[in-house]
Each structure stands twice: as structure tokens, then as C-alpha cells.
Amino acid sequence: MTSRILVVDDDTALAEMIGIVLRTEGFETFFCADGATAVQEWRAHRPDLILLDLMLPGMDGIEICTRIRAESGVPIIMLTARADTADVVRGLESGADDYIVKPFNPKELVARIRTRLRPGAQPESEMLRIGDLQVDVAAHEVRRGQSSIALTPLEFELLVALASKPQQVFSREMLLEQVWGYHYKADTRLVNVHVQRLRAKVELDPDNPKIVTTVRGVGYRAGAIV
Amino acid sequence: MPTAAVTVAGRSVTWRDGAWWRARAERIGTLWRRSLRFRTVVITLVLTALTIIIACVWMALAIQNDLFESRKTQALTDARRAVDSAQSTLDNAVVQDDPVQVQNLLTSIQGPLSQQSATDMTLAIRVDATPSQLAPPGFRSGGLTESMISAELRKHVRDSGSVDKQWAQSIALPGPDDSVRPGIVVGQQIVVPDIGPYELYLAYDLDDASSTLSFVQATLWIVGSALVVLIGAIAWFTLRAVTTPIREAADTSAQLAAGDLGVRLRVRGEDELATLGRSFNAMADSIQSQINQLAELSLVQQRFVSDVSHELRTPLTTIRLATDMLNDHRDEFDPTTARATELLHAQVQRFEVLLTDLLEISRYDAGSVQLELEPTSLARLAEDVIASMQQLAEQHGSDVRLVAPGGYSPVDMDPRRIRRIVRNLLGNAIEHGEGKPIVVTVDSNQQAVALAVRDYGMGMTEADAERVFDRFWRADPSRKRTIGGTGLGLSISLGDATLHRGTLAVWSRPGYGSNFVLTLPRGSHPVEAGSPLPTDPGDEATDDLGLTQPIIVSRPMDGGDA
């Protein structure tokens, strides 16, 4: 099955070039050059992944990201010219799963996209427990008691990664490799921001986390099963 | 401020201790040197106090003298009047050698004498000491006795031989309860008919004058002291009106010098201090506007560099994607086109690196770089970098060796930036090392960790070494470039080292190679005690490295990666 990708970028040359690269790799692509219509385009095509430029006319990438996240957990990868600005953190906080800094090479782009589209490594057990939550890996569902909690695929993967090895402390680098597919030192802000987003959804008290606990100076681990 | 105890060298001492006084004296000495107001007030007080003391003493003496003289004159006048009157009584009397009559006569003059002389202290002594049947020895009243009259005065009176001459002398009169009161005694002769001259003494009590004098003197001293205090206070307040604005001006200029360009002096009135304030403010305005102008200019420039770099990124991405794609398919092209594609691909990559470096530099210029500190072992980091560049070193025939006697314990640093510095230094060493060994040394001391990269290649002159951190500067333009740096590498490395409050120093001699030393402080304070590794390796005289330069190769025992 061909994955469908929506490229939102106002630079038509770049968008076209990205399209050529992705089509060569066997993806199906759609384009949108205007921020104001990006959300409509997304609704019309329901792509499997969105490549989103941060600086767009009409509506900026962060606003688009927030709106799409309100409706869906579709993987979003931001394209940005600046890695060091607060824009990246704001983009991640508004729900983007990953980001690529311009200029990037085709292999990097394709690798990032494939990581986000490929389902994560399946643990042996179909049902996992973490804290007071039940995680149904096959059904992609997280439940506290009878109520189900909606997570994006990335957040789900993060939770499964922690829950499948409850004894292990995961460093940020380990999580970057396992969840984001980075095999080299990457931006640990990715982990920090997404752990915060995950906690906001699954913790009863995000200021006093019981599900995803911090191990100072090392990283994170799964909370004790209740 | 009267404190009961001061602290000297960490212990508390009281005024019984010598140290307390020394500390006091020191404090006053400091005040004397530092406080214009204190010094001026002290000088004013001392001088006015001296003046007032002199004036008071002089006035007291003058008043005392004047008072005494006037009382003396009065006493003499009174005495003369009384004696003249008594003498005329005696002259008109007829006694006819009758002792009783003589006695009565003498008694009769005593009452008028007392009344007219205004004193009841009288004493009469017969001048001729030979006993006589007829002549009574004299009389006395009011407690005046012979012993109270000095021999000198008596001699004058006895020898005068005339009733007109008067003598006066100060004496001490017995007061009540054995006290002594000041007094004056007037002596002259009085002649009793048929009997001869008598010494007559009249004593006057000066106690009232004395108490007047003490009162006047006390008043003088009180007024004098009050005057000193008043003048001190006036000096203090007057000076405050002057020194307070001066201190304000000093504080404000210190603030200005510290970089707070917005501070201004408060200007009141139109006097000289106000003029000072206005001039100061005008100066500050001018400085501020110039600095702002320069800052703005530099900001515009920085923003421009940053914007250009960013604007170039989007088209560069497209070019990058296109060339990568072309490059992947170059086997399908004819040899010329394939070579062209290869060149295009390589130069686009170089362009990208250049752009990244330029952007990094513009970040330093804008001061917008944030370090992401984490505890990192410099020795392990060096090991990683050496391992990652082993292949490149081998291509150039250089043997990279790590000598790490210290520097294993983690120190807070931004590992990404430090790795970049080490990679850069090592890359340069490999490029300029002429295939000779390269020694990377890591060591530490209590304040800092340091890393040195030494090559034994061609080296540089001192003048070249000084410019090595300049942007786009190349030691020798004709040199073959094999690794292809941007000319910004060392500049960025220096920027990274400075951000860590560390240093990056270079030593180089033509023909002996170069030594770059990176020093990073353990804490947040800059290293003052010097780097654990010397910048000058001290082996200039070594002519053949292979023979005389022993290289200690040390590899950590455990293979663990930090």
C-alpha cells in the first residue's frame, strides 16, 4: 500500500523537488502552498503523513499543527530553516512529531518519513500495563479503567517503549533511537517536549507524574504498576 | 557610631583591647581619606574651637582684670574718704594727755570709719611699737587681724610718713566654715594728736565680684562650646548640600561606566552643581545615542547576515535534493556529465558547510548562542573524535595518538560544541601534519580540563599564528587544501571555547609544527591559575621527531564509552 504524503510549503520549487524525491521512493504526494488552505487540504486528502514548513503565508505552521492535532494524531514532520529558535520548541509543543532542518538530503528526509510511517517494534505481549493504565498494543488503545485515552501514534510508541521494559531506565538518546529512529546524537528537546505532551494526557497530575517518571540525570522510566 | 565591640580578624574585641583602638583609629583614618565631608568638618571644628578658646580666655582675663581694678579704685576712694573724715575728727579733738580720752577718741572714730568706708573690717596698729601709758595699741573690728596683713604692706604703710599715701593688696579673707574669700586690703596712716601715727587697714570683701566673674566666665565657656557645636553642625549641613550631589554624580558615572546607559543625574536649580549635572547628562545622552547607533548598526548587519543565510537555505535545499538525486544516477550519464555532476555535488556540500558556519558565526555576533551543558568526560570525547577521524588520518599517513593522564572525570560542557572544536583542531592537524604523528593530550587540574592537539608539520610564523583565529584567514593561500575547510573553523572554535569561559591558545614555529590548547574551566569561573597543559610544548630544539620525541601512547583500560 502506498503511503500518501501532504507537502505544505510555499516554495513551489522545493515542494516539487520533494515530490520528485518522494515519488521515486514510492510515496504518493499532494501539495499545498498556502497556510490558510492547509487544514482543508488535509481534510480532503487524509494523508498518512504531513511535511509542514514552519513559515507559511496565510497561517503559520504552528497554528496549522495545533488545528490538525485537535482532530488527528497523523504524523507531522516540520521543515525549518532554523534549528535553534524557539519556533522548533513551539512546533513540537503544538504537536509536531519530528523536524528536519534545511538543507537536508533526500536520504535523511526519506529515513525520517519511513520511521514515522513504520509501526514500532512489536513487543511480545499484546497487553501491557504501566501505572494504572492498560495498553492494548494490537488495538493501539490505552485505557484507564473503562475510559480510553487518545494518543498520537508517536505518543503511543513512546509509552509502549517505556512499558515494554518496565525495569529499564531509558536515556533520552535511547528513546531518540528507538522512537524517532536517530542513530546519532540528536536534539533531546524532542524527547522532553513529547514526554511533557504524553504526561499531559496520561497522568492524573502532570506535575507529579506516576506513569512516566523522571530519573534525574539519566532519563525516564515506566512508573510502577498499580 | 559607638559600638561596644568591633570585629578584628574574625574575633570580637572590646575597648579594653589594643586591637579595638587600632581598629577605631584605622576606621577614622579611612574616613579621613575617603570622606571629604568628614575631613572638612574635623578641620573646621578644630580651627573654630581653637579660635573660640583663645577668644574666651582673653575675654575672661580682661573682664577679671577690669572687675578687679574697678573694685580696687572704689575701695581706695572709699578708704580715703573715710580716713580723711576720721583724720579731721582727730585733728579737731583735744585730748590733753588723758589715756581715757584718747581711748574714747579712737573708739569714737571707729563707727564713722566703718560707715564711710563701706566695710566693717578695720584694723589700726600704732606705728611706734614702744609701749606707752598714754597711747592705746590700736583697735580692730570685723575679724581683720594683724597676721592677715603682709609684712610688705605694713612696711610700706609704716615707712610712708604721710597720711596721703595709700597702698592696696589682694588678700584672702576667712569666710564662713573655714572657707577663704577673695578680698582687698587698703592701708594708710592716720595720725592721732599727741600720740602719733597709726597704721590703718580697711579690708573689702570681693566675693560678689568673684561670683560675678565666675558667672561671666561660665557663660563664656558655654557660649563658646555651643558655638563650636553650632559651627560644626553648620559645616556638616553645608557640606552635605555640596557633597551629596557630588556623591550622586560619582555613583551615576559609575553606573554609566558599568553599562547602564539610561541613568541620569537629577538637576536642581541653576548653581554650579546644576551645571555639572547638566553637562554630565549631556555627556551621557551623547554616549548613549552613539552607542545605540553603533549597536543598531551592528544589529542590522547581524540580522542581515542571519537573514541572508536563512533565505539561502530554502533554494539550497532544493539544489541539494536535486544534486543528490543526480549524483545517485551519475552512472547512467556519459563520463563528462557524470564528472560535472560529481563536482556539482561536492561543491553544493561545501557551500552548505560554508553557509552553516556563516550562520553559526552570525549567532555569536548576535550573542544568541545558548550552551546545552551536560557532564562530559573530555578524555572520552577526544577518544570518540579520534576514532571517528582515524580513517582520514590514515589517508594522510598520520598516526594519531592520545595521551590522557587526566581529564576523565565529567565536567559540564556542551559536548556537541566541544566535539566540533576537537574535530576541527584534529582536522587541521591532519591536514597540515605532513603525515607525521599527531599527539592529542588531555589533562586536568583542580580548576580546569585541557586538551592539546600537537602536529609536527610545517608550522607557522608567529605573525601567522596570531591571525589564525581570524575569519576566512588562510596561513598560506598557495597551500593545497585537501579537507576543504571553510576558513571559519578556528573562528567558531574560539567562539565556542569563549562561550564556555575557556580559552583556545596556539603555539607554532615554522618547521616544528603547531600546538593548539583548549582549556575549559570546571566551574563557571574563568580559569585564572593557568591551563593544565602548556601552550608552548617546549620541544622547539627537537630536530627529528622520530628519534628524540618519545610519544607515550596511553589508552584507557576499560573500553567503556562515556
State the angle between helix axes of B415-432 and B378-388 in degrees (0 to 180), rounded to the nearest 10: 50
Express each pLDDT in B396-406 by its tens digit: 888 898 988 88
What are the distances in angstroms from CA B307 to CA B1, B311, B312, B358, B404? 62, 6, 8, 11, 43
Percent of chain B topping pLDDT 70: 91
Chain B positions in Cβ-Cβ contact with residue A21 (cut-off 8 Å) = 321, 325
Tell me how far apart the alpha carbons of residues B187 and B66 are, in angstroms, rounded to a whole number. 22
Mean pLDDT over each residue of chain B, to the nearest integer: 82
- For chains A and B, count residue pairs whose Cβ atoms are closer than 8 Å: 51
Cβ contact, residue pair B321, A102, below 8 Å: no
What is the pLDDT averaged over residues B266-273? 83
> Domains in chain A and their CATH numbers?
4-117 (3.40.50.2300), 127-222 (1.10.10.10)
- Look at residue B176 and tell me whether its pLDDT is greater than 60: yes
Nearest in space to B439 (alpha carbons), one of B492, B380, B497, B386: B386
What is the pLDDT averaged over residues B301-309? 77
Does residue B387 belong to the interface with chain A, where contact is any CB pair within 8 Å?
no
Cβ contact, residue pair B325, A107, below 8 Å: no
pLDDT confidence of residue B190 = 85
Does residue B289 belong to the interface with chain A, where contact is any CB pair within 8 Å?
no
pLDDT confidence of residue B416 = 84
What is the pLDDT averaged over residues B369-375? 82
Half-sphere exposure for A193 (CA within 13 Å, toward CB):
19
Cβ–Cβ under 8 Å, residues B357 and B486: yes
Strand partners, B400: B438
- Look at residue B106 and tell me whether its pLDDT is greater than 50: yes
Chain B positions in Cβ-Cβ contact with residue A107 (cut-off 8 Å) = 324
Chain centre distance of CA B143: 72
Chain B positions in Cβ-Cβ contact with residue A104 (cut-off 8 Å) = 317, 320-321
- Look at residue B417 and tell me whether its pLDDT is greater than 80: yes
Cα Rg of chain A, angstroms: 18
pLDDT confidence of residue B478 = 57
Which helix or strand (DSSP H or E) is residue B173 part of?
A: strand B167-174
- Look at residue B561 and tell me whether its pLDDT is greater than 80: no
The answer for residues whose C-beta is within 8 angstroms of residue B81's C-beta and 6 or more apart is B116, B117
| Mean pLDDT lowest among B95-99, B104-108, B539-543 | B539-543
Nearest in space to B104 (alpha carbons), one of B139, B128, B72, B76: B139
Cβ contact, residue pair A105, B316, below 8 Å: no
Please tell me which residue, B531 or A52, carries the higher pLDDT value. A52
* Identity at B112, one-letter amino acid code: P
The cell for B25 is 583609629
Cβ contact, residue pair A20, B325, below 8 Å: yes
Q: Which residues of A touch B (CB under 8 A)?
A: 11, 13-14, 17-18, 20-21, 24, 81-82, 84, 102-107, 109, 185
DSSP conformation letters of A22-34: HHHTT-EEEEE--
Does residue B347 belong to the interface with chain A, where contact is any CB pair within 8 Å?
no
pLDDT confidence of residue B11 = 56
Q: How far apart are the first and last CA of chain A?
A: 40
The cell for B331 is 552512472
Positive or negative torsion for Cα B223, B228, B233, B238: positive
Chain centre distance of CA B129: 85
What is the pLDDT averaged over residues A206-217? 86
| Mean pLDDT lowest among A110-114, B41-45, B108-112, B230-234 | B108-112
pLDDT confidence of residue B539 = 62
The cell for B286 is 551623547
pLDDT confidence of residue B555 = 43
Does residue B39 belong to the interface with chain A, where contact is any CB pair within 8 Å?
no
pLDDT confidence of residue B475 = 64
The interface predicted TM-score of the complex, written ipTM, equals 0.82
- Look at residue B8 and tell me whether its pLDDT is greater than 60: no
Assign B479 a pLDDT band (cuts: 50, 70, 90). low
Q: Of the candidates B317, B368, B416, which has its C-beta nearest A102's C-beta?
A: B317
What is the pLDDT averaged over residues B493-497? 90
Chain B positions in Cβ-Cβ contact with residue A192 (cut-off 8 Å) = none
- Look at residue A225 and tell me whether its pLDDT is greater than 60: yes
Chain B positions in Cβ-Cβ contact with residue A13 (cut-off 8 Å) = 315, 318
Chain B positions in Cβ-Cβ contact with residue A106 (cut-off 8 Å) = 321, 324-325
Q: Of the candidates B313, B325, B416, which has its C-beta nearest A103's C-beta?
A: B313
Chain B positions in Cβ-Cβ contact with residue A185 (cut-off 8 Å) = 415-416
Does residue B332 belong to the interface with chain A, where contact is any CB pair within 8 Å?
no
Cβ contact, residue pair B314, A84, below 8 Å: no
Q: Where are the beta strands (DSSP E) in B336-395?
A: 374-376
The cell for B68 is 578687679
Chain A residue closest to B370 (CA)? A84
User: What's the full length of chain A, in residues?
Assistant: 226
Minimal Cα–Cα distance from B517 to chain A, Å? 26
pLDDT confidence of residue B560 = 37
> Domains in chain B and their CATH numbers?
5-59+213-252 (no CATH), 92-212 (3.30.450), 273-364 (1.10.287.130), 371-548 (3.30.565.10)
Which helix or strand (DSSP H or E) is residue B265 part of?
A: none
Residue from A7, A11, A12, A14 whose CB has the most chain B CBs within 10 Å, to mutate: A14
- Look at residue B188 and tell me whether its pLDDT is greater than 60: yes
What are the distances in angstroms from CA B152 to CA A85, A195, B9, B155, B433? 115, 121, 70, 5, 121
Cβ–Cβ under 8 Å, residues A137 and A179: no
Residue carrying the nine cell digits 577526544: B382
pTM for the complete prediction?
A: 0.56
Express each pLDDT in B333-366 by its tens digit: 999 999 999 999 999 988 888 888 887 887 787 7
Cβ contact, residue pair B315, A14, below 8 Å: yes
Minimal Cα–Cα distance from A110 to chain B, Å? 11
